[in-house]
Amino acid sequence: MDDELARTFGQRVRFARQGNRQTQSVVAGLSGITTDYLYQIERGKKLPALPVAVELARVLRVPLSTLLGETPTGGPAVPPLEAGAAIHQAMTWASPAQTSLDVTNLHRQVESAWGTWQSSERRYSQLGRELPTLVTATEQLRRTTDETDAVLTRQVQRCAADLYGLVRTVAKRVGRVDLALLAADRGIAAAEVAGDPVRRAAAHWNLAHVLLAQDQPEGAEAVALHAAENIAPHTADDLDALAVRGSLQLIAAMASVRLGKPWRARDRVRAVVPLAERTGERNVCWTAFGPTNVAIFAVSVEVEAGDTGEGLRLAERIVPEPSMSIERRVAFHLEQAKGYNQRQNYAGALVMLQAASVEAPEDLTYRPAARRALHTVVQRGRGAVGRQAAQLASRMGTTIS
C-alpha cells in the first residue's frame, strides 16, 4: 500500500511542478529538502513524512489531498484493468454456482447497467463492480435454459446481446480492445440465436467499432456495409431498423476517412441525413442515431481528415439535445479537443477537456483518447494553459509521462 501511495504521490508532485513550470531545484529548496530527495519522491521511490508533504503542497500551491490522490467516496472503485480481467474470466470460465436471476430480472439489470453507462459520472467505477457478476449470471442462464423452450431461449439471448454490447463499449473505452473483440463476437452469436434482425445489425455495429479501434478500417467498412445491406429489407416500416442502418452507414463513413477517402466519408454522412430526419433522435440498442449524432459524425469526419477548421466550425452549430447521454456529450467534447490540439489551439482544447471533466471526471482518468488529448495540452500548452492542464491531470489522477 505504501509503495502504491508513494507512486501516486510522486506522480502528482511531478504533475503539479511541471504545471507550475518550476524546476526540481527550486521546489526542493523552498520545501527544505535536497534535489535528490525530490527526484526520489517524484519517481515513487520515497514517501515523505507528513511535514515534508505539507511543505510540498504549499510550494506547489495545491491541496495536500490532491497530492495524496484522495477521491470522492461512494463505494470502492474497481480499476478498469482489474475489472477487465474479472469480466474476461466471467466470459471464459464456467462458474459452478447457480444464478438466482430469471430472465425478467436479468433484463432489468442489463437495462439498469446501460442506464448507468449513459447517465452516471462515475460509470467506470460502478460498472467495474457490476459487470463481472452480470456476465457470470448471463452465461449461467444461457447454459441452463431449456433449448426446447424457444421463447425463453430468445429472451435470454436478447439479454446477452444487449449485455455484450455494453461490455464491448466499456472495454473499448478503457483500452481493452482484446476484450471488446471477444464481447462483440459473443454479442453477434447471441443476436443470431435470438433471431432478432435489429439486434443482429447492432451487434455488427459493435464489431465495426472494435475493428476501427484495432486500426482495421477495411474490415470495419466491410462489416458495417454488409450489416446495413442485411437490415435494409426491414427498414420500410420499422424506424428502429432504419436508425440502426443509419448508424452502420456512419461507421462506414469513419472507416472511409481512415482509408484516406474523405470525399466518400462526406458522401455517406450526407446520405443518412434524410434517414435521420425520418427517425428523429433514437437510441436503438444504444447505437445513438438521429440528426444530432449525424452532425457530430460530420465533425468527426472533418477532424479525422485533417480539416479541423471546418470540423470546429460545424461543431459550433451543434446544440446537443438535453436527452443526449453522457457518453455522447463527452465524446463530442473530446472530438473538439482533438481538433483544437491539431490547430495548436491548446487553450480551446483545455476548455473542452475541462467541460468533459465536469460531465464525467472518470473519462479523463480511464479513457485513452482523453488522456492523449490532455497529455498534448500539458506538454505543449504555454503559461497558464499548461499549468491548468497539469493541475487537471493531477486532479483526475491521469498519468502524464
Q: Is the pLDDT of residue 94 over 80?
A: no
Question: Would you say residue 123 lies in a domain?
Answer: yes
Q: Is the pLDDT of residue 166 over 50?
A: yes
Q: How far is CA 211 from CA 151, 171, 202, 287, in A?
A: 33, 13, 14, 16
High-pLDDT (> 90) share of the chain, %: 53
Q: Which three cell numbers stand for residue 1?
A: 500500500
Q: Rounded to the nearest 5°, which phi and psi values hold at 282?
A: -135, 160
| pLDDT class of 59 with cuts at 50, 70, 90 | confident
Please tell me whether residues 189 and 201 are part of one structural domain. no
Q: Which of 166, 194, 222 is the last residue of a domain?
A: 194
Please tell me whether residues 381 and 334 are part of one structural domain. yes
Please tell me whether residues 155 and 124 are part of one structural domain. yes
| pLDDT (0 to 100) of residue 82 | 63
| pLDDT class of 78 with cuts at 50, 70, 90 | very low
CA gap 349, 316 in Å, rounded: 14
pTM: 0.78
Please tell me whether residues 92 and 120 are part of one structural domain. yes
Residue range of the domain that includes 363: 325-400
Please tell me whether residues 190 and 251 are part of one structural domain. no
Cα dihedral 325/331/334/335 (nearest 10): -130
pLDDT tens column, 271-327: 999 999 999 999 999 999 999 999 999 999 999 999 999 999 999 998 877 678 888
Our count of domains for the chain comes to 4
Question: Would you say residue 246 lies in a domain?
Answer: yes
Question: Would you say residue 369 lies in a domain?
Answer: yes
Please tell me whether residues 314 and 351 are part of one structural domain. no
Please tell me whether residues 60 and 141 are part of one structural domain. no
Please tell me whether residues 238 and 334 are part of one structural domain. no
Q: Which of 318, 347, 367 is the last residue of a domain?
A: 318
| pLDDT class of 400 with cuts at 50, 70, 90 | low
Please tell me whether residues 343 and 372 are part of one structural domain. yes
Q: What average pLDDT does this structure show over 80-96?
A: 70
Q: Which three cell numbers stand for residue 163?
A: 449485455
Among the ranges 75-79, 296-300, 369-373, which has the highest mean pLDDT value? 296-300
Who wins on pLDDT, 149 or 7? 149
Instruction: Identify whether the C-beta of residue 159 lies closer than 8 Å to the C-beta of residue 199.
Output: no
| pLDDT class of 401 with cuts at 50, 70, 90 | low
Q: Is the pLDDT of residue 7 over 80?
A: no
> If you search the block for the grid coordinates 503539479, which residue do you land on?
16
Q: Which of 39, 70, 101 is the last residue of a domain?
A: 70
Question: Would you say residue 75 lies in a domain?
Answer: no
Question: Would you say residue 46 lies in a domain?
Answer: yes
Question: Would you say residue 368 lies in a domain?
Answer: yes
Q: What average pLDDT does this structure show over 143-162?
A: 92
Q: In 3D, which of 276, 285, 311 has the Cα closest to residue 296?
A: 311
Question: Would you say residue 52 lies in a domain?
Answer: yes
DSSP state letters, 302-354: HHHHT-HHHHHHHHHT----TT--HHHHHHHHHHHHHHHHHTT-HHHHHHHHH
Please tell me whether residues 230 and 293 are part of one structural domain. yes
Please tell me whether residues 99 and 171 are part of one structural domain. yes
| pLDDT class of 77 with cuts at 50, 70, 90 | very low
**CATH code of residue 7:** 1.10.260.40
Question: Would you say residue 392 lies in a domain?
Answer: yes
Q: How far is CA 380 from CA 86, 214, 350, 375, in A?
A: 37, 28, 11, 8
Q: Is the pLDDT of residue 1 over 50?
A: no
Please tell me whether residues 59 and 92 are part of one structural domain. no
